[in-house]
Amino acid sequence: MDEDSVRKRKDMFNGGPATGPTSNMSASHSKPAEEDMKATVLQKEVGLLSGICLIVGTMIGSGIFISPKAVLLETGAVGPCLCVWAACGVLATMGALCYAELGTMITKSGGAYQYLMEAYGSVMAYLYSWSTIMVLKPSSFAIIALSFAEYASTPFYPGCTPPVVVTKCLAAACILLIVSVNCLSVKLASYVQNFFTAAKLLIILVIIVAGIVLLAQGNTENLSNPFEGASTSFGSIGLAFYNGLWAYDGWNQLNFITEELKNPNRNLPLAIIIGIPLVSVCYVLVNIAYFSAMTPTELLQSPAVAVTFGDRVLYPLSWVVPLFVVFSTFGAANGSCFTAGRLTYVAGREGHMVKILSYISLKRCTPSPAIIFNGILAVLYIIPADINTLINYFSFTQWAFYGLTALALIVMRFTRKELKRPVKCPMPIAVLVVIVSCYLVLAPIIDKPELEYLYCTIFILSGLLLYFPFVHRKFSWTRRVMRPITMHLQLLMEVVPPEKNE
């Protein structure tokens, strides 16, 4: 046992694979050695309840407390605003049904990364991982952390906006805490997710019940002429969907951790069927509750919609709303970090990112290098952050890949007929998701062309400059440079390569 452990650690620090001769010797000698090797594989520790909490907890975050203003601003009236919220729920459900088929057909972690790899090949999967790992995931993490910081600091600055430095420092502290939790334990991160999901559902229920009471008391004037002053601009409707769908983002998060999900063929589609309709109903009812207490103008002028609602309706218990909104955003940030680490880990395992990002903590069974890397990028994105701008460009790029993923489902119906499909999404739904994705990508660009959209496209394609020399050709000098760096990072973080689990 001691000799095997020494050999294993020597192999580990030399950057060698965890499944060489040492692994075979360990497996054949003794049970303790077998248990020792178990540390190099992510464990199946996420059940149905935790899966539902991951979906619901990631979807209900900052969006429902920020996006109502942006959706109302773009639609111009209460009626189309509520229609957009309901339509976003339907669209998220259809997209999730596509992902349910893909996730039960290809039971690997990484979500769309694996599906794009199977349908289109390595280049498209690399471009997705490049843009998602470097921009989309950390910027999403940063946006949610900033929302957490805004709501957490607002009560300490009554009557004025919290200083930017305070907000950003608090957001950075939130990110560091969540990264630490996710590096320590998968079970701990799941418990945190479950607790904060319960907390956010409680505050959503409080807001909905308060809204129903107000409507029963006759506060219906804001809903009497709901379509008066509505905007019909092609691009503004697209931007309204952007902001609404930002609040729904998270419907595909369970696909990123398929390898850690117990019985994925059953629990993946079941969690989607339960979680997403639940969130959709909550969102529409919460917006109706907002309009029962505030006029559209007052809602647009509110710096924090949920806090304003609490001040008007729940006084003297109005402090409950910002407290639970802080819980909500913290839980969403935890879910975002949890799934982002898995995508980075899988991309490193496939050779599309540096190898150290695919390593697993020897003691804690977590992909800690990938989680830490995502956290560092999120902290960097906090520095220049403007929330609404980030949401717009985040959605533009994200929906381009959502459309390509739905198209991958259609493509593989013809090219990969041999794959088993425990869940089968109706083809018209996949086609509709592709069409809507094209609209969401093109509508704002056609209506109001801006250079930022071009910058996003250039950034995505710039990944090819790294792909061909470092991934496709694999220059030998890069391995010579990275080997000592990898070795020292392994020693520092006590991580090992993942065991190949075929």
Position 30 pLDDT exceeds 50:
no
Any bridge partners for residue 360, and if so which?
A: 496
Residue 261 backbone dihedrals phi, psi, to 5 degrees: -95, 130
Q: What is the pLDDT of residue 192?
A: 93
Any bridge partners for residue 261, and if so which?
A: 46
Give DSSP secondary structure letters for 300-369. HH-SSHHHHHHHHHSTTSTTHHHHHHHHHHHHHHHHHHHHHHHHHHHHHHTTSS-GGGG-EETTT-S-HH
Higher pLDDT, 235 or 352: 352
Q: What whole-number distance in Å separates Cα of residue 367 and Cα of residue 362?
A: 10
Q: What whole-number distance in Å separates Cα of residue 417 and Cα of residue 413?
A: 6
What token pair was written down for 163?
Answer: 């200083």
Q: What whole-number distance in Å separates Cα of residue 444 and Cα of residue 343?
A: 28
Q: What whole-number distance in Å separates Cα of residue 247 and Cα of residue 286?
A: 12
Helix (H) or strand (E) holding 279: helix 264-293
In contact, 276 and 99? CB cutoff 8 Å: no
Instruction: Kindly list the domain boundaries of the chain, sorted by start residue.
Output: 49-496
What token pair was written down for 361?
Answer: 């903590």
Q: What is the pLDDT of residue 308?
A: 83
Q: What is the pLDDT of residue 60?
A: 87
Residue entry with tokens 């950390």:
138
CA 110 vs. chain centroid, Å, equals 12
Any bridge partners for residue 361, and if so which?
A: 495
Q: pLDDT confidence of 12, banded at 50, 70, 90?
A: very low
Nearest to 288 by CA among 93, 86, 151, 91: 86
Q: Taking the CA of residue 6 as centre, how many other CA atoms within 13 Å lie in the half-sphere pointing to its CB?
A: 3
Nearest to 407 by CA among 377, 384, 441: 441
Residue entry with tokens 């697993």:
360
What token pair was written down for 277?
Answer: 């309709």
CATH architecture of 49-496: Up-down Bundle (1.20)
What token pair was written down for 173?
Answer: 């502290």
Q: What whole-number distance in Å separates Cα of residue 236 and Cα of residue 228?
A: 16
* Alpha helices by DSSP H, 418-498: 427-447, 451-466, 476-493
What letter represents residue 220's amino acid? Answer: T
pLDDT digits over 136-181, tens only? 889 889 888 988 888 888 778 877 888 889 999 999 999 999 999 9
Sign of CA dihedral 196, 201, 206, 208: positive
* Alpha helices by DSSP H, 106-233: 112-120, 122-131, 137-153, 164-184, 186-216
Q: What whole-number distance in Å separates Cα of residue 332 and Cα of residue 200?
A: 10
pLDDT digits over 347-397, tens only? 998 889 988 999 988 888 889 999 999 999 999 988 875 655 665 666 678
What letter represents residue 197's amino acid? Answer: T
Position 37 pLDDT exceeds 50:
no
Q: Which residues contact 233 (CB under 8 A, 6 or more apart)?
A: 447
Mean pLDDT of the chain: 83
pLDDT digits over 55-106, tens only? 998 888 767 876 688 888 888 888 899 999 999 999 999 999 999 999 999 9
- pTM of structure: 0.82
* Alpha helices by DSSP H, 60-108: 63-75, 78-105
Q: What is the pLDDT of residue 501?
A: 53
What letter represents residue 243's amino acid? Answer: N
Q: What is the pLDDT of residue 240?
A: 85
Q: What whole-number distance in Å separates Cα of residue 151 and Cα of residue 171?
A: 11
